[in-house]
Structure 1
Amino acid sequence: MAIKVGDQLPDARLAEYKDVASEGCSIGPNKVMVQEAAKGKKIVIFAVPGAFTPTCSEQHAPGYIKMADQFKAKGVDEIWCISVNDPFVMGAWARAQNADGKVRFLADGSGVFTKALGMEFDLTKGGLGVRSQRYSMLVEDGVVKKMNLEDSGHLEVSNAEKMLEQI
């Protein structure tokens, strides 16, 4: 069953690659415990089927990066981009997208978070394995307040513009 408005985010571990060490955060992959990271925050999460894929790289992620300041102006503390990729790939993709300080690119390497949400998408026949469906959600203190799931295979309801309208 897929996560819906009113549900709590699952307690899962994601990973974030950091290029520069900071207090409490070393260089390289760092674990991000979802419930802990979401506690007391207003977060926009968007998920993509894969890093460096055409729609994800040319439209989905760039929209959130470009509009990051507008989200912050509406009280959003963080924007997360989640994909079933490893943290090294997500770190490279974040660098390629110039996302630093705007969007956190979080890896769900084994798809545990994605499966707990009920958002897995099996592309094994095409050689891509199990991926995430494309969606966006607004989360406040770990609870889903808005949910936009793409059902067309396109980018129509989970883009940055649509989410910004909903906040």
Structure 2
Amino acid sequence: MEYIGQTLPDITVYEFAGGEDTSIAIGPLAWRLPDLAFKKKVLVIGLPGAFTSLCNGTHMPGFLDHYQDFLDLGFDELWCIAVNDAFVMHAWGQSLGVNGRVRMLSDGSAEFVRAMDVTLDLTDKGMGVRSDRFAMVLENGVITFFVREEPGLLQMSDADTILSRLQNQE
């Protein structure tokens, strides 16, 4: 699938709402991706799952470490999308100390990753259908940059590599 120049699919994702105390949560807010990306430059990070070893220990922390560098490149927001529910995404963000720097978006039914053809079938490992590891840049909902990892690898979609590639595009 050719991604550059494509618009985001009209898929709904979910985001935890209600503050740090999950006992008084408003519940997951539903967002249509085209609405969420409207008039924004967004870096989207797709990951196999919250709390998984590579995602938790290396992949997401790199984007948190380089958060300001991405803002300096003109990004309005960073999103992390995984096939987990909004409560798990929120808890994961809390454990990582995201503190609003990255929107932790839930694709709990894998609708987005199926529509984008970036699924990773981990059924034989008890995890079901997940997201491949990928990164994309959206400008007003249009994909202008896209990389996808081979399963199990983290060589092209890590923060350092993405940052370097985007800096070299300027």
The aligned residue for residue 65 of structure 1 is: 64
1:22-101 → structure 2 map (5 Å cutoff): 27-101=26-100
The aligned residue for residue 141 of structure 2 is: 142
In structure 2, what is the Cα distance between the partners aligned to 1:102 and 1:166? 21
In structure 2, what is the Cα distance between the partners aligned to 1:100 and 1:32? 20
Residue 18 of structure 1 deviates from its aligned partner by 2.6
SS of the aligned residue for 1:37 comes to helix
Task: Tell me the amino acid that sits aligned with residue 106 of structure 1.
Answer: L
SS of the aligned residue for 2:90 comes to helix
- Answer yes or no: is 1:14 the counterpart of 2:13: yes
Q: Does structure 1 retain, via aligned residues, the 8 Å contact 2:50–2:88?
A: yes
The aligned residue for residue 165 of structure 1 is: 164
Residue 3 of structure 1 deviates from its aligned partner by 5.3
Task: Tell me the amino acid that sits aligned with residue 147 of structure 1.
Answer: F
In structure 2, what is the Cα distance between the partners aligned to 1:66 and 1:126? 30
Structure 1, residues 63-85: CA drift from partner, whole Å, max 9, x if none?
11111111111100000000000
Residue 152 of structure 1 deviates from its aligned partner by 4.9
Residue 154 of structure 1 deviates from its aligned partner by 1.3
Residue 110 of structure 1 deviates from its aligned partner by 0.2
Cα distance 1:84–1:40, how it changes in 2: closer, same or farther (>3 A)? same
Residue 164 of structure 1 deviates from its aligned partner by 1.3
Residue 28 of structure 1 deviates from its aligned partner by 2.7
Query: Identity of aligned pairs, percent?
Result: 39
Cα distance 1:143–1:53, how it changes in 2: closer, same or farther (>3 A)? same
RMSD, aligned CA: 1.5
Cα distance 1:3–1:119, how it changes in 2: closer, same or farther (>3 A)? farther
Residue 49 of structure 1 deviates from its aligned partner by 0.5
Relative to the length of structure 1, the TM-score reads 0.92
In structure 1, what is the Cα distance between the partners aligned to 2:17 and 2:62? 22
Residue 153 of structure 1 deviates from its aligned partner by 1.7
Residue 101 of structure 1 deviates from its aligned partner by 2.0
Structure 1, residues 28-58: CA drift from partner, whole Å, max 9, x if none?
3111210001011100001110100000001
SS of the aligned residue for 1:81 comes to strand
In structure 1, what is the Cα distance between the partners aligned to 2:77 and 2:129? 26
Q: How many residues in Structure 1 have an aligned counterpart in Structure 2?
A: 162
SS of the aligned residue for 2:91 comes to helix
Structure 1, unpaired ranges of 5+ = none
Q: Where do 4+ consecutive residues of structure 1 move more than 6 Å?
A: none
